[in-house]
A and B are shown apart, each in its own frame.
Chain A
Amino acid sequence: MPEGPTHSTVPTPGTAVPGRVVAGSEPWQPGAAAPEIASSAGGYVFFKPAEAAFVEAAVARLIPADELGGGAIEADVPLFIDRQLNGDFGNATRWYMQGPWGEPTKTQGYQTRLTPAQFYRAAIQAIDAVSTRMHGQAFAALNGDRQDDFLRVLESGAIALDGVDGQAFFGLLLQNTIEGFFCDPVHGGNKDMIGWKLIGFPGARYEQRFFLKAFNQPFPLPPVGIAGRREWSR
C-alpha cells in the first residue's frame, strides 16, 4: 500500500499562491516513542571524592536547607551535576568546541575551551589550591561563613584561579545547582520534587483547563514528573 502523506495543489481564490491540501498520515509505528533517558541510580560516577566534597559543600551554601524545607543536598543536586557532567552536557557533545578563540563578550555565553566536565575538574582543583593556601584547608573543610565569603569573592571575579575563569565557574555552578533543584526528577535532581513543591509547580501535566479560571486558589493536584509520581504505584 502507498505510504506517507499525499499533497495536492489546488488554486485558492483571490490569491496567486496556491493552497495545499495535505491528506494521509505522518509516518507512525506502533510502540514508537522517544523515551527520556533516566538518570542512573547509585553513587558518583564522574566526581572523585575530593570533587564530590567540594560540590556538596558549595551547593549546600547556594541553596541551603531552611525553615521552608530541604535545600540542594536534600534535592540530590550533587548527584544531578555528576550525571550531567558524565553525559552529553559534560562532554559538550552538541556544542561547537573549536576555534577561533576571540575575546568573548558577556552576551556570548559559555566561552571556554574546556568541556564543562574539564572545566569543573580544573576549577575545583584550583579552588582547593587557593583555599589551602589561604586557610590551610580545602573548601569543603571550611566553616559555613568562610565558605560563603569564598564564594562571594569567587562570584565577584576578584580571585585569580590557576588556568580557569573563577567568575565563569561560579556562574556555571550556580546555574547547574538551580537546574538540579528544579529539574524533572528523571534527570537525577529535584528528589521527591521538593523544588516543585516549594514553588507550587505542577510538573509535567497536560490538562490545565479546569483550573484556568480558579484564581487565587491553590492548585489541587500534586506535582508529577515525566516518570510519574509515587501514587501511580500501589
Chain B
Amino acid sequence: MDFDSWAFPGIACAYNNRRGNLAARSGGSRTPGAHCGLATGGRVSEIVVESVSKLWGATKAVDAVSFTAAAGQLLVLLGPSGCGKSTTLRLIAGLEAASAGRIRIGGRDVTDLPPAQRGLSMVFQSYALFPHLSVAENILFGLKVRKVPATERAARLQRVASLLGLDTLLERRPSQLSGGQQQRVALGRAIIAETPVCLMDEPLSNLDAQLRQDMRREIRGLQQKLGITMVYVTHDQTEAMSMADQVILLRQGRIEQDAAPAELYARPATTFTARFIGTPPMNLIALADGAAGAVVRGSDGPALFDDKGDGLLAGIRPEDIRIAERQGVPARIVTVEYLGADSVAACTIGDQPIAVRTPGRLNLKPAAAVSLLWSPAALHLFDAATGRRVDDDRLRRVRDRAFVASA
C-alpha cells in the first residue's frame, strides 16, 4: 500500500498552517527530521522481541510472541480486547516484567532494565498527563528529571511546541484543554525526549472520529519525519491499515499474522484475520459437495468451482461481489444499509449469510431475489477445521476451475 499519497511530508511542521494553507506547504522536504530541528540524534533502533511470554497466574496473556520492528518502522499491534497487545507493549516498555523470552532494542538486551534505561518514550491511552502541571511543565517533566540544562530545555520545548501547534497553550492546565489538545501534549512529552523508540497505547481511542482521522495522519507524519521506530497498539483495523508499515495481528496472546497491511488484506492467513480486516470483513461461507462441484452449504447450486466443497470455507470480500440480474449465485436480500458513498446489503445464499458492498445507493427491498457475481481471483479458501488458508497451489487450481465469473 502506498502511503506517500496521503502522508504529507510537511504536515508536522506545518501544523499551524493546517487550517490555513497546508496545500501550499505540502511540497516541503521529506528528509526525516530535516527541517524540524528535532531528531533522534541519528540513532535508529530496531526492536526485537524473542519468544516473550507473560503469565498472570495460569493465564497466558502473551504466549511466546516473536517479532521484529525494523528501525524507523511503524509497527502496529492489532487485535480485539484481551488479545495481549497492550501487555506486549508494556513488556517492551518495561512496565511489566516478561515471564520468559528476551527483548532487544537497538541491539541491546533490555529485558531486565527498568523502563527509563530502555531509551523509549510512551503515549498512554488516557494520556497520563499530570493534572496539576501546566502544558509546558508536563512536556518538560522528563527533561527536568534528567537534569537537562535550562537553556536546552527551553529550546527543545520551543521546537516541540511549534511542531505540535501548542505555542499558545503552554501555560494552560490539562483540564483546560480539549481531548485533541491533551493528546498533543502527550505526544509532545513523548517526542521531546528524542528517544529513538516511541510506544503508543491506543492513543486515539478517546477522540471523536474526525479528530482521530486527523491525528492518524499527524502521528504517521511525525513518525516518518523524526525517523522514530514506533510500536502502536490499536483495536481499530482502520488505524492499523492506514498507518502501519507492518501489522501484527494478535489473538489470545499469540501472533495470528505478521504482515504488511496490503498482505493482511489480500492474503489473510486464517479465518480470524479474514474476519478482523475490512469493513465489513470478508464473507466466510461454508461449502458442501454438490453434483457439479462445490456449492454453498444449504443451497442447491450452482457450483462455485469444480472440486470438493466439504470442510472448506469460501472467503469473498464484500467489495468484490457484484449484484447482477441473473447468471450468478441466487441470493436473497435481508437488509440494505446505506452509507453514503456505498451501500452494504446483507444477503443469504442457502443458509449462509453474505454481505455485499456496492457503490452508491441500492434500491432493493428485503426478501428481493438477486444474483451475486465475483471474479475467480476474489475467491479465498480456508480449511473449516483448522481455520487456515489453503495452500496457493490448491487455490490456483480452484480459481482456474471456478464457474462463477464476473462479466
* Chain B associates with chain A: no
Which residues of B come within 8 Å of A, CB atoms?
A: none
Which residues of A come within 8 Å of B, CB atoms?
A: none
